[in-house]
């Protein structure tokens, strides 16, 4: 049996060259690889080729941020903190925080910002609040670092308490008490004297509440200014900061000039303080001024499209301007020759005295023209309308304007005065006869040694009266009253005078046999006898006749006080 078993065992044995199992070399290599990975994972604690997008950020202080603290964008977890270490390049507590960002948190731009914020108040659990930046900025690559100027950290409560020491707390308490008193203080009448009417009688709190109504447009303007400060192109703000740094550096190099500037600025502020009342009034006027300026700016803005269209239309003309100027050179040469002293220049010199006289004439016209205007208004408002009145004279009414009647009379006088002799022209009058003798008032020279004359005539019937009646006195004359302001004369309202001579200077008429002491003088004229007589027996000084009175009144050159 033993031999049989040995034979069976020998029969089962396979030679080494004929064996087909696992290769020992490969098995050993696999064991070495597994051991190496185990050692790497034990020390590195990270699986190779599984790292995400890494971003580093330098913070002034890491506070309580720890590895595995969440990283959030807009409140959504997009990664975690993988490492917190000291920042060698900085001073104090600066720390370099490495963050791993998932794909949903990408891309991140170079102007990104990072803030360390508390998750729950006073709990001490913090997270990194990451802002990915503007899309127009370049993208960050994995492993890039955000500088400390783009990071910030949360202020801890213990830091606030440390800042509020006993003296500081007392000052803060007094500040709050004073601020509360200032807000609730009721102003007195004396305090309201120099205040704006909108806040008079109001407490500071009420005035602040009222100012909120005006804060909306003000904040809108501030937002516009802040938006403008961002610039229109990339790096505008950084260039502004760089330029500001250059200006600051220049000021630091000219320290004495800066001191002088501060001194002068202090003097300027002192001068403004001395004129605080006037400055307050000026500031009070700024509101309406700005309102009007806003309206003007709106109008300008509305006009800009039309102005732009006009500018576009002017472009061809502007392009032709050089050729136009070049073409005008011959004309300029001719004009220059024309303006020489031998041409127009000499004429101008000769005309210069005349020009001076014309200037004086123009100056004098400033006085003459108003007077001429008064004369023109007198003619248009008084004289011409008066001449257009049709005088109603009963059966003697002509029906035409009285200025036409005047010219008709002139034509009649011209016809009647065609007879003349050695004494000149004369007019024949056909005298009538009758039982009634009438006489005018005395006229002619008067005074000591002179004799006043009267006119006599006869009629078949007794005269009924005169029209218009002579009032017997000169109407008042005011040389300072303007003609243009006078009312039109009532030519058709003239009264009729009595025929018995009872009126002053009126016509006396009586039967011929009742006339006593009258000496009739008949002038010797060729042709028909004129019935003109004069009474030498009338005494001087009895008064002027109607014609003389009318001439006196119509004489614009008479002296003051003369009749």
pLDDT of 524 reads 33
The model's pTM is: 0.30
Q: How confident is the model at residue 22 (pLDDT cuts 50, 70, 90)?
A: low
| Angstrom distance (rounded) from CA 157 to CA 160 | 5
Find which of 147-151, 225-229, 250-254, 527-531 is predicted with most confidence, using mean pLDDT.
147-151
Q: What is the DSSP letter of 530?
A: P
Residue with more model confidence, 486 or 208 = 486
Residue with more model confidence, 551 or 70 = 70
Residue with more model confidence, 60 or 503 = 60
pLDDT in tens, 267-276: 888 888 888 8
pLDDT of 533 reads 32
Checking if the pLDDT of 143 tops 80, the result is: yes
pLDDT in tens, 311-320: 899 898 888 8
pLDDT of 502 reads 61
The token duo for 85 is 């270490």
pLDDT of 441 reads 66
Task: Report the alpha-carbon angle 481-484-489, nearest 5.
Answer: 90
Question: In whole numbers, what is the pLDDT of the chain averaged over residues?
Answer: 76
Q: What percentage of the chain carries pLDDT values higher than 90?
A: 9
| Overall average pLDDT of the 140-152 stretch | 89
pLDDT in tens, 531-550: 333 333 333 333 344 455 54
| Angstrom distance (rounded) from CA 382 to CA 364 | 27
Q: Which long-range contacts (CB under 8 A, 24 or more apart) does 104-108 make?
A: 104/76, 104/78, 105/53, 105/71, 105/73, 105/78, 105/79, 105/130, 105/132, 106/53, 107/132, 107/139, 107/140, 108/53, 108/55, 108/132, 108/133, 108/139, 108/140
Biggest CA-to-CA distance, the chain: 224
Checking if the pLDDT of 174 tops 90, the result is: no
pLDDT in tens, 380-438: 999 999 999 998 887 888 889 989 988 998 888 888 878 878 888 787 766 667 778 77
- Per domain, the residue ranges of the chain are 53-161
Checking if the pLDDT of 516 tops 80, the result is: no
| Angstrom distance (rounded) from CA 4 to CA 114 | 85
């Amino acid at each position: 049996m033993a031999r049989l078993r040995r034979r069976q065992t020998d029969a089962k044995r396979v030679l080494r060259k004929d064996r087909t199992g696992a290769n020992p070399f490969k098995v050993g290599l696999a064991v070495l690889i597994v051991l190496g990975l185990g050692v790497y994972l034990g020390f590195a604690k990270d699986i190779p080729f599984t790292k995400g997008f890494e971003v580093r950020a330098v913070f002034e202080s890491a506070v309580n941020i720890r590895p595995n603290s969440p990283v959030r964008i807009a409140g959504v977890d997009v990664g975690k903190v993988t490492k917190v270490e000291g920042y060698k390049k900085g001073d104090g507590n600066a720390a370099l925080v490495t963050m791993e960002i998932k794909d949903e948190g990408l891309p991140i731009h170079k102007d990104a910002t990072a803030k360390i914020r508390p998750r729950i108040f006073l709990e001490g659990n913090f997270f990194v609040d990451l802002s990915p930046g503007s899309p127009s900025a370049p993208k960050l690559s994995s492993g890039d670092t955000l500088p400390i100027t783009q990071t910030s950290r949360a202020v801890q409560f213990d830091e606030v308490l440390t800042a509020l020491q006993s003296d500081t707390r007392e000052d803060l308490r007094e500040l709050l008490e004073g601020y509360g008193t200032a807000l609730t203080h009721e102003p007195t009448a004396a305090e309201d004297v120099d205040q704006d009417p909108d806040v008079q009688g109001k407490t500071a709190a009420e005035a602040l509440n009222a100012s909120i109504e005006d804060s909306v447009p003000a904040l809108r303007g501030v937002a516009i200014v802040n938006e403008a400060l961002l610039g229109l192109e990339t790096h505008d703000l950084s260039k502004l900061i760089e330029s500001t740094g250059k200006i600051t550096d220049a000021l630091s190099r000219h320290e004495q000039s800066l001191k002088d500037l501060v001194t002068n600025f202090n003097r300027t502020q002192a001068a403004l303080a001395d004129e605080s009342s006037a400055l307050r009034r000026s500031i009070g006027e700024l509101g309406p001024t700005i309102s009007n300026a806003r309206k003007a700016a709106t109008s300008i803005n509305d006009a800009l499209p039309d102005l732009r269209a006009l500018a576009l239309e002017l472009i061809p003309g502007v392009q032709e301007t050089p050729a136009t100027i070049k073409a005008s050179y011959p004309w300029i040469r001719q004009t220059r020759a024309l303006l020489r002293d031998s041409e127009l220049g000499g004429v101008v010199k000769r005309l210069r005295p005349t020009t001076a006289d014309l200037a004086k004439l123009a100056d004098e016209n400033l006085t003459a023209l108003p007077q001429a205007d008064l004369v023109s208004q007198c003619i248009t408002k008084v004289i011409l309308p008066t001449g257009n009145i049709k005088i109603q004279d009963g059966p003697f009414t002509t029906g035409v304007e009285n200025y036409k009647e005047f010219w008709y009379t002139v034509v009649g006088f011209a016809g009647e005065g065609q007879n003349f002799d050695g004494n000149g022209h004369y007019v024949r009058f056909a005298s009538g006869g009758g039982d009634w003798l009438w006489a005018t008032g005395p006229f002619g020279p008067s005074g000591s040694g002179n004799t006043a004359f009267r006119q006599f005539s006869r009629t078949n019937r007794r005269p009924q009266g005169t029209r218009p009646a002579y009032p017997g006195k000169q109407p008042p004359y005011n040389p300072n009253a303007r003609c243009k302001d006078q009312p039109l004369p009532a030519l058709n309202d003239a009264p009729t005078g009595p025929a018995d001579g009872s009126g002053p200077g009126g016509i006396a008429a009586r039967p011929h046999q009742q006339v006593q002491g009258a000496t009739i003088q008949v002038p010797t004229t060729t042709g028909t006898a004129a019935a003109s007589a004069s009474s030498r027996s009338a005494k001087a000084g009895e008064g002027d006749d109607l014609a003389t009175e009318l001439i006196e009144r119509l004489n614009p050159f008479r002296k003051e006080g003369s009749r």
